[in-house]
Amino acid sequence: MADHTPDAPAPAPAAPGRHPVYVIGGGPGGLAAAYALRARGVRAVVLERSDRVGASWRRHYDRLHLHTTRRLSGLPGLPMPRRFGRWVCRDDVVRYLEKYAEHHRLDVVTGVEVTRVDRSPDGTGWLLHATGGRELTGAAVVVATGYNHTPRVPDWPGLADWNGDFRHSRDYRNAAPYAGRDVLVVGVGNTGAEIAVDLVEGGAARVRLAVRTVPHIVRRSRAGWAAQYSGVLARRLPVRLVDALARPLARISVPDLSSHGLPRPGTGLYSRQREGAVPVQDVGLIDAVRRGEVEIVAAVDSFEGGKVVLADGDRIAPDAVIAATGYVRALEGLVGHLGVLDAHGRPVAHGPRTPRQAPGLYFTGYTNPISGMLRELARDAEKIARAVARGAGDRVSRLPG
């Protein structure tokens, strides 16, 4: 891997009239795209704002394991090692990303943050504005800054004046600081559900989980069949059919938790997923809720007088609050002026498709598909590389040989 610090010599310039493809972000999506481009003879340079690849994975909580299988989570050109097991842990994902960049000799420049992307003056490529006053011209750009980019914390009234221990789930590592304490986890996505279980197992005195919208809960694996396999099949079927099939399967595999505050959702599993609500894969939540170790409470409404006010009017006084309230993509400053984002700040096109008004500008990793994000990142990388090789033509810098 060619790993450059901000003070290191710049890579050799491209031939006159030709420019590399710049990949913004050194996570799995960016690395996969860089390899796929390199495999087609296209010079790709990864620009990573941190000092190492896989920065967001390094920040995840300690007990995190992939909810997708090892065999369906590898990136192009390098399978994940069998010794990682079926459900790969966080540290092994990081090791894999480091090895991936090294194995494929990817050109990764660390410590460089791209702050804005504009059309190049001649209109044939892209001009990247980066830290240190850099201006880099690319024949094409792949934006891969990540799905979990900037923590989102709702604008709860009174939060600024609350003196309790409050943090976003991005800053949660393990349960040790919460042993013997009363903790409220806000948000019942996969992160919130897993942190709640981690707190129980780590000795928290009381764990409550605030739920606004009841989630679909699925078993991560049943009789050897991973939920991801069903997700892969579902992508080929109509949404209504998947919703219809999912209902009886849920009744068979997941117990009714209505008496514990988690009734079965009234909306379809795949319909909800298409709207951005990914099913919660059970890694202990069901049993913890049934045993009363995780108490389900209403959504948080506000903070007042040292207490947390819930949507049903209850007031509770936890020692700590962990907000598992998700992330925003934070692409507005980078590309928002180009008209390539929708009303929710998400790219209007992804994978090999580019926005109509921005040919040569690609996005990867901004959806959360039911079939598994790493699998789809790998597939998108190959498609993006084909599209770049086909569309950029003589403007792309080629690798020797």
CB burial of 150-168 (b: ≥16 within 10 Å; e: otherwise) equals ebeeeebeebeebeeebeb
Last residue of a domain, one of 271, 288, 323: 323
Residue 78: closest CA among 31, 9, 144:
31
Over residues 321-336, the pLDDT tens digits come to: 999 999 989 999 999 9
Last residue of a domain, one of 323, 339, 373: 323
- Give the range among 168-177, 221-230, 354-363 with minimum mean pLDDT: 221-230
Domain co-membership, 192 together with 236: yes
Q: What is the pTM of this model?
A: 0.91
Domain co-membership, 136 together with 175: no
Q: Give the pLDDT confidence score for residue 5 in this predicted structure.
A: 45
Domain-located, residue 265: yes
CATH of the domain at 90: 3.50.50.60
Over residues 240-268, the pLDDT tens digits come to: 998 898 899 889 999 999 999 999 998 89
Determine how many CB atoms are found less than 10 A away from the CB of residue 201: 14
Name the DSSP letter for residue 346.
-
- The CA angle 106-348-324, to the nearest 5 degrees, is 75
List of residues 6+ apart from 41 with CB closer than 8 A: 389, 398, 399
Instruction: Show the domain range for 222.
Output: 152-323
Domain co-membership, 77 together with 109: yes
- Provide the pLDDT confidence category of residue 17 given band limits of 50, 70 and 90: low
CA distance 392 to 76: 22
CA distance 43 to 62: 36
Domain co-membership, 90 together with 169: no
CB burial of 379-401 (b: ≥16 within 10 Å; e: otherwise) equals bbbbbbbebbbebbeebbbeeee
Averaged pLDDT, 262-284: 87
Query: Are the C-beta atoms of residues 280 and 190 closer than 8 Å to each other?
Result: yes
| DSSP per residue, 271-294 | HHHHTT-PPEEESSHHHHHHTTSE
pLDDT for 58 beyond 60: yes
Domain co-membership, 15 together with 141: yes
- Provide the pLDDT confidence category of residue 282 given band limits of 50, 70 and 90: very high
Domain co-membership, 31 together with 114: yes
Averaged pLDDT, 284-307: 97
Last residue of a domain, one of 295, 323, 351: 323
**N residues, the chain:** 401
Indicate the number of domains in the chain.
2
Host H or E run for residue 304: strand 300-304
